[in-house]
């Protein structure tokens, strides 16, 4: 491994039901060469409920709304002590892979991580 190669950043996208917003974030970022992506939801009826393993695995957690951050902090207080949590402020009004949602996720995550979405 050469000196310029850095380990991939593990990012976890979180919304309520893991149906539209967080899976879109995972899909948009999963093929980026410098990122590994997962997604989960805070609701008990989410497609994939955020687990202890997800939280431990993640380097950075992107939540769609402030309420998701609050729920994670309530459930995983200790595990989150040294984790970076970024609130994206993306309301629950987008469907999976909505072009406007994709654009917001590309821009906000790239900005937060200091990456170019097209960084191949």
Q: What is the pLDDT of residues 56-82, one digit of tens each?
A: 999 999 999 999 999 999 999 999 999
pTM here is: 0.91
**Structure tokens belonging to residue 8:** 């991939």
- Tell me if 26 is assigned to some domain: yes
Mean pLDDT (the chain, rounded): 93
Kindly report the CATH number assigned to the domain that includes residue 54: 3.40.50.2300
Q: How many Å apart are CA 49 and CA 51, to the nearest integer?
A: 6
Q: Which range of residues forms the domain containing residue 59? A: 9-112
In whole angstroms, give the CA distance from residue 90 to residue 114. 20
Q: Name the domain count of the chain.
A: 1
**Is residue 2 assigned to a domain?**
no
Query: Rounded to whole angstroms, how far apart are CA atoms 54 and 18?
Result: 13
CA distance linking residue 1 with residue 65, whole number of Å: 38
Residue 52 CB contacts under 8 Å (≥ 6 apart), including other chains:
76, 79
Which pLDDT tens digit goes with each residue over 29-52?
999 999 999 999 999 999 999 999
Band of pLDDT at residue 5, cut at 50, 70 and 90: low
pLDDT at residue 3, as a whole number: 44
């Amino acid at each position: 491994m050469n000196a310029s190669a850095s380990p991939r950043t593990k990012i976890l996208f979180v919304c309520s039901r893991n149906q539209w917003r967080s899976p879109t974030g995972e899909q948009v970022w999963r093929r980026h060469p410098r990122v590994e992506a997962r997604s989960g939801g805070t609701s008990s009826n989410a497609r994939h409920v955020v687990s202890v393993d997800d939280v431990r695995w993640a380097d950075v957690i992107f939540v769609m709304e402030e309420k998701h951050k609050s729920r994670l902090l309530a459930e995983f207080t200790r595990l989150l002590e040294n984790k970076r949590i970024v609130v994206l402020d993306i309301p629950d009004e987008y469907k999976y892979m909505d072009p406007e949602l994709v654009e917001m996720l590309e821009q906000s995550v790239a900005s937060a991580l200091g990456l170019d979405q097209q960084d191949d």
